[in-house]
Amino acid sequence: MKDNLKFTLLAIGIIVIFFIMGREIIEIRVRLKNTQDLLVQQKKEKIWLQEELKTSRGELADTNRNLRTCQGKLDFVNKKISVLRGSNAALSSSNAALIIARQGLEYKIVTLQEEKRIVEARIHSLGELKKAIRQVKIEMKGDRIKQHKERIRQQEEMDKWETASGNRGFLIKDGEYFYKPKVNVNVRPANLILNKR
């Protein structure tokens, strides 16, 4: 009996151990299945994150290209702005010069209008008109005299040049040739003269 009791206790102990081990095996299997599920889920998440990373890298590359393009455009616009500022400053200075010139022209216009008014007043008066006509005739006569003197001076200048260049070997006195005229002498070879006789 003692042996039976030992055997029974041993059998109960083994059953309890198997029961506990079976329970632990089931728990380990459940944990293993959970771990495998978690691993599969993590692999899926890893694949999804890799695809997201790849997409993000592509978008980052596109963004970098766009950024470089925008930077180039910004540099171009900044250069254009600096050129426009320079031309704006030049236009401002030329505008100031034009305003000054305009004021000068306005002053001249006012002066000329005043002179015109004075001249018109003189022309509408008969005595002043006669004086103006006499003055114009005197000026015209003075111009004709100046032109005549200029023609005489030009002619004298031409005569000096002709005298300086000479008469090119002709002897002329009072417009007539003073030198004997040319004589033409025909010379023929001797054999032609003999053949003619």
Q: What is the 3-state secondary structure (H, E, C) of 152-188?
A: HHHHHHHHHHHHHHCCCCCCEECCEECCCCCCCCCCC
Distance CA 83, CA 146 (A): 58
CB 187 within 8 A of CB 181: no
CB 128 within 8 A of CB 122: yes
pLDDT value at 14 more than 80: yes
DSSP symbol at 30? H
Residues 6+ apart with CB under 8 A from 16: none
Q: What is the CA radius of gyration of the chain?
A: 64
pLDDT tens string 99-151: 888 899 999 999 999 988 887 877 777 777 788 789 999 999 999 999 999 99
Distance CA 110, CA 116 (A): 10
Classify residue 132 as exposed, middle or buried by CB count within 10 Å of its CB (0-12, 13-18, 19+).
middle
> Residues of 42-69 as b/e, b for ≥16 C-beta within 10 angstroms?
eeeeeeeeeeeeeeeeeeeeeeeeeeee
Q: What is the largest CA-CA distance in the chain?
A: 199
pLDDT tens string 179-189: 666 667 777 77
The residue type found at 74 is L
pLDDT tens string 70-103: 999 999 999 999 999 988 888 888 888 888 888 9
Show the CA angle centred on residue 71, arms to residues 67 and 76, nearest 5°.
150
Residue matched to tokens 């006195």: 173
pLDDT confidence band for 160 (50 / 70 / 90): confident
Distance CA 150, CA 13 (A): 156
- Per the DSSP assignment, residues forming a β-bridge with 177 are 172
pLDDT confidence band for 30 (50 / 70 / 90): very high
DSSP, collapsed to helix, strand or coil, labels residue 1 as coil
Structure-token pair, residue 52: 């997201």
